[in-house]
Chains A and B, each alone.
Chain A
Amino acid sequence: MRDRVGSIACGAIVALAILAARPAAIAQQTTVTAFAAASLKNALDDVDQTFTQNSGMRVVASYAASSAMIKQIENGAPADVFASADLDWMDYGAQHKLIREDTRVNLLGNELVLIAPKDSNVARAEIGPGFDLAGLAGNGRIVTGDVRAVPVGKYAKVALEKLGIWGAVSPKVAMTENVRAALTLVARGEAALGIVYATDAKAEPNVKVIGVFPADSHPPIVYPVALTMTAKPVASQYLTFLRSPAAQALFEKYGFMFLAKTPS
């Protein structure tokens, strides 16, 4: 009986020792936490992998609508880097002292496109003022991000208003919580049409681009990035890497326009 207790106690001590050693080992590898717009997912995952290979630092990226991400940062989420899909949410972060203005830089650009399921009968069209989008959708829905908050939805609404068709289109609009959810609904054939970024359409084989919204119908689509107020000092290395030629090559491969000049 005493031997049993003795051996159990030894086993427990050894187990505890192993468990205590593990966190120490993990702590040696620094982690950068990035909160990024949903549309950045594929490209940023690749960029993060290259960064880890080069620097040994792990990147944990969380993707959601930019509005949701800045809200989480406001509520104290431990992010080091914030990458937004529009300037508004980065400005919100600046106003509420959530990001470090001196680290803010415009990193990428994008285009707004109209997509349909791959096997849809809808033909390519030229999108201009008075474009009959409502007619094109027929009985189906046009899905995009929430026009009240999600960047792609906001760009879409401004573009539709500028083209003079928002009134006709708005009853047919279905809003999702981020651009990738809209993309998935079109890819699954649940929605007749969708308004997403050109890079999303490129990343999803089950959709096809029907038309491109003219660049002057909406504010320029700009992705600013910045360090948060609570960022670790090493996170600035990550930000520098995002502006490097290696990262530029990856972003451009996915269809983004690279706006940041590499710091000399």
Chain B
Amino acid sequence: MLSLSPDEWVAVRLSLKIALVATAVALPFGVAVAWLLARKQFWGKTLLDGLLHLPLVLPPVVTGYLLLISFGRRGPIGAFLADHLGIVFSFRWTGAALACGVMGFPLLVRPIRLAIEAIDRKLEDAAATLGADRLWVFLTVTLPLAMPGLIAGLVLCFAKALGEFGATITFVSNIPGETQTISAAIYTFVQIPGGDAAAGRLALVAIAISLAALIAAEWLARRAGTRFHGE
């Protein structure tokens, strides 16, 4: 009863793959945007901040629909990418990863930005006076000090990507083996008479993965905190 069928395993592996890829690709962008918002003043900063938080506030289906009309096979960006770079998002796990990355992006940026803002600028200035260039200061002073925030952002983004449903199903629908993540699989099984057992098993798997991610993040954050703040 507790062992997963091949269909269910496919959904689990696909969910993990999509969530990991989405988080990994979002990370450099997330760090860059967080640093920009924390350390720089520029025209349109408030607008950027607003746009960034849009996926958090919009109904997920609306975000999925916007992705569909822009990155779908007939959308402006989607058609360009497909024709010139061979990157296709429709019907593919890449589309699901894009949807998850977009939905998780605000959750990634916020904690990192707050962590960077909390860093004492005098430490960065001190490093600069000792001869470090901006990039070196960032890599050796800012980033390590912001590590607990970075880890928190990563976990939140990963968790959101793992559980993303509305935007994914609207953008790339629910194709077993390609875009059917754990959430979509549970949704499908609940609609099939006799599918409750499978839905229950997948729900348990989702709980287990989420708990493991939270515990790992807690442990990592504590370690990072001790190393850099000497608590």
Q: Which residues of A contact B (CB under 8 A)?
A: 64-65, 67-68, 70-71, 74, 89, 92, 141, 146, 148-149, 174-177, 181, 185, 188-191
B91 partner residues in chain A, CB cutoff 8 A: 141, 174, 190-191
A71 touches B72 (CB 8 A): no
B176 interface residue, CB < 8 Å from A? yes
Cα–Cα, bound, A177→B187 (Å): 10
Q: Say yes or no: is B178 at the interface (Cβ < 8 Å to chain A).
A: yes
Q: Are A176 and B74 in contact (CB under 8 A)?
A: no
Residue B90 at the chain A interface, CB threshold 8 Å: yes
Number of interface residues of B (CB under 8 A): 16
4 extra A-B contacts, CB within 8 A, seeds A146-B188, A190-B74:
A67-B193, A149-B192, A175-B174, A177-B174
How many residue pairs, one in A and one in B, have C-beta atoms under 8 Å apart? 51
**Shortest beta-carbon distance, B152 to chain A, in Å?**
35
Contacts of A191 in B (CB 8 A): 91
CB contacts under 8 Å to A, within B30-78, are 72-74
Are B193 and A190 in touch, CB under 8 angstroms? no
Which of A74, A174, A189 is in CB contact (< 8 Å) with B178? A174
B73 touches A189 (CB 8 A): yes
Distance A177 CA – B191 CA, assembled complex (angstroms): 9
A68 and B73 contact, CB distance less than 8 A: no
Between A and B, 26 residue pairs with Cβ closer than 8 Å are A64-B191, A67-B191, A68-B192, A70-B193, A71-B190, A71-B192, A71-B193, A74-B193, A89-B193, A141-B91, A141-B175, A146-B188, A146-B192, A149-B191, A149-B192, A149-B193, A174-B91, A175-B175, A176-B173, A177-B188, A181-B173, A188-B72, A188-B73, A188-B74, A190-B72, A190-B91
Residue of B nearest to A184 (CB): B173
> From residue B26, how far is it (CB to closest CB) to chain A in Å?
25
Complex interface: chain B residues within 8 A of A74 (CB): 193
Q: Rank and list the top 3 A-B pairs by shortest CB-CB distance, nearest first.
A: A68-B191, A149-B192, A174-B175
Q: Is the Cβ of A148 less than 8 Å from the Cβ of B192?
A: yes
Instruction: State how many angstroms separate the Cβ of B177 from the closest Cβ of chain A.
Output: 9
Query: How would residues 172 to 188 of chain B score, 1 for a CB under 8 Å from any chain A CB and 0 otherwise?
Result: 01111010000000001
- A-chain residues with CB within 8 Å of residue B191 when the two chains form the complex: 64-65, 67-68, 71, 149, 177
Contact call A67/B192, Cβ cutoff below 8 A? yes
Residues of B within 8 A of A189 (CB): 73-74
